[in-house]
Structures are given as structure tokens and as C-alpha cells.
Amino acid sequence: MTNDDIKRAAYKYAGDVNRNRKSGIEPYSVVDFMEGAKWRVNGVWHDAKEEPKYDKYFLYENVVHAYHVDGIYPSEDEPFVWDDYVKDMGLLRWVYIKDLIPDL
């Protein structure tokens, strides 16, 4: 979804919810809708300092703004060190895959 898609949806939403209300509040509804959409998209991301749970797939963004999917599956033979992983992968932020799926 692009910013233009969000803006169109915001105007449609503002028109729908403000149909029977006092005129002039539509711009506030548009801004509120757009801020909510941004929050939904950005609010699920975790900082690289926070380690994801084991056995859960996640998407991460690295320093060259490439995206990769991974999961942590610790081994008894070799301990997993999150800080080393962050450094080796150039990880900036991550999100659980399940958090990217919309709630329907």
C-alpha cells in the first residue's frame, strides 16, 4: 500500500464517518486516519537491540536497506549470540512475519 492509497482511503473514510456530522472536521479525520495507518505499519517493527523469540520467523532490514527472512533455531552444539548476529547481518530492525499479516 502506497501513501497515495492511504490518502485515498483516508478521504473516503472521512467522507463516510462525517456524513452526518458538522462540516469542517473532515480534514482532521483524514489526518487521524493517515497517522493511524502509519502507526500500524511502523508500530510492529522492533529495534535491533531487542532479540526475537526462538522458533519464530522474522523479516529484518539491514544497513543497505535490503530485507531478509530468517528464524532463530538454537543448537546444543553452538550457542546463539544475538549481538553477533546483528553485527554480522548489519541488522537495523526486525518484525515478526505474523505481525505483517492483517487482522481480518
Q: How many CA atoms lie within 13 A of 34 on its CB side?
A: 16
Q: Are strands 57-62 and 91-96 parallel, antiparallel or unpaired?
A: antiparallel
Q: 4-37 pLDDT, tens per residue? A: 777 777 777 666 666 655 666 666 677 777 777 7
Mean local confidence (pLDDT), 53-77: 94
pLDDT confidence tier of residue 1, bands split at 50, 70 and 90: low
Q: Would you say residue 104 has pLDDT above 90?
A: no
Distance CA 90, CA 64 (A): 8
Q: What is the reported pTM?
A: 0.69
Q: Would you say residue 2 has pLDDT above 70?
A: no
pLDDT at res. 41: 77
pLDDT at res. 36: 79
Q: Would you say residue 94 has pLDDT above 80?
A: yes
